[in-house]
Amino acid sequence: MTAPTHDWPAFIRDNTKLIAPPLVPEIRLHLAEESLPIWHKTEEELGEMNVPPPYWAFAWAGGQAVSRYILDNPALVAGKRVLDLGAGAGLAAIAAAKAGAVDVLATDIDTISLAAATLNAEANAVVIATTADDLLAAPPRPFDVVVVGDLFYERALAGSVIAFIDGALKLGALILIGDPQRSYFPRDRFEKLAEYRVPVTRELEDSEIKLTAVWKAT
């Protein structure tokens, strides 16, 4: 039986609004205003229950922080190859492209996320590439800069991310991480570069302002 096809760009346009994240007003993203309605509509579209949360529909604190840092320090990515690992809505990938990166790859195993990232890039007049390949399952490819936003919320995922970061460091990549020190964030592994007070939704977080830092892996 042929798997059903979904017009994810149309779904995203119909169920989100173009919104500028509070910390990165230069960029607009297709975002949901509430979490439960978009989650339920995703389940209805897929015809499945218990699907993963629609992470792509929100601008998380870590992604906002690292994107702000990139836009304020464009020399870090200008003319370079950048990987946005676990890209979600593609915020950091778009920030890197706006800051002058020559080649930007947004990766996420969620195909809806990649559709959102592509739409968001178009909305901001930049070009990024996307892939649904699980890059954490293979040795790192050579990139000049690897950006990681909010990927330390599960133990197994955090372990895979750390292994990937270690491999990318050996290849000479600059690793920039945006994270509010979630549950499995390795506090002793990274150097803090900047800190921001990021407005977030109380529906998703434990406060309306999330103190979030940008870190460099060494």
Q: For the chain, which domains are there?
A: 60-217 (3.40.50.150)
Average pLDDT over all residues of the chain: 91
The neighbouring-strand residues paired with 6 are: none
Report pLDDT digits (tens) over 2-58.
345 689 999 999 999 999 999 999 999 999 988 777 878 887 877 776 677 788 999
Q: What pLDDT is stored for residue 49 in this prediction?
A: 64
Give Cα separations from 46 to 6, 86, 188 (angstroms). Answer: 8, 21, 41
Q: Are 195 and 181 in contact (CB under 8 A)?
A: no
pTM of the model: 0.92
